[in-house]
Amino acid sequence: SQELEQSPQSLIVQEGKNLTINCTSSKTLYGLYWYKQKYGEGLIFLMMLQKGGEEKSHEKITAKLDEKKQQSSLHITASQPSHAGIYLCGADLYGNEKLTFGTGTRLTIIP
């Protein structure tokens, strides 16, 4: 099984609707990163959450870290076509300076 599970694997949302993507770890999270990837492009850094129940927002995207549940959620409010892409979470699961990435969530925004 994957050490960082993302759900759902894919999501189709009507423009203007809200959505949530989850990232669940099998191990203690030493920080959690969210990246976005568009097809044929590299990963764009969105946000980084430190251990401790942190919450951050950037424009219409909010990310939270629940250390008890070993889970992070990414919430998009009033989705737009520009939000379409693949969202990846990454974490240092072993405290060994290496990021393990989740399986990814493919987000499609329809009119």
Partner 1 sequence: DAGVIQSPRHEVTEMGQEVTLRCKPISGHDYLFWYRQTMMRGLELLIYFNNNVPIDDSGMPEDRFSAKMPNASFSTLKIQPSEPRDSAVYFCASSLAPVGALYEQYFGPGTRLTVT
Cα–Cα distance, 72 to 83 (Å, whole number): 18
Q: Answer yes or no whether residue 99 interacts with partner 1 by CB under 8 A.
A: yes
Give the x/- contact pattern for partner 1 in 46-65, rule: CB under 8 A: --x-x---------------
- Restricting to residues 22-51, which ones interact with partner 1 according to CB under 8 A? 30-31, 33, 35, 40-45, 48, 50
User: Are 76 and 59 contacting, i.e. CB atoms less than 8 angstroms apart?
Assistant: no
Q: How far is CA 87 from CA 7, 94, 96, 102, in A?
A: 10, 22, 23, 9
Strands 10-14 and 105-110 come out as: parallel
- Binding span for partner 1 by CB under 8 A among 9-17, 20-28, 71-79, 86-94: 86-94
Binding residues for partner 1 (CB under 8 A):
2, 30-31, 33, 35, 40-45, 48, 50, 88, 90, 92, 95-104
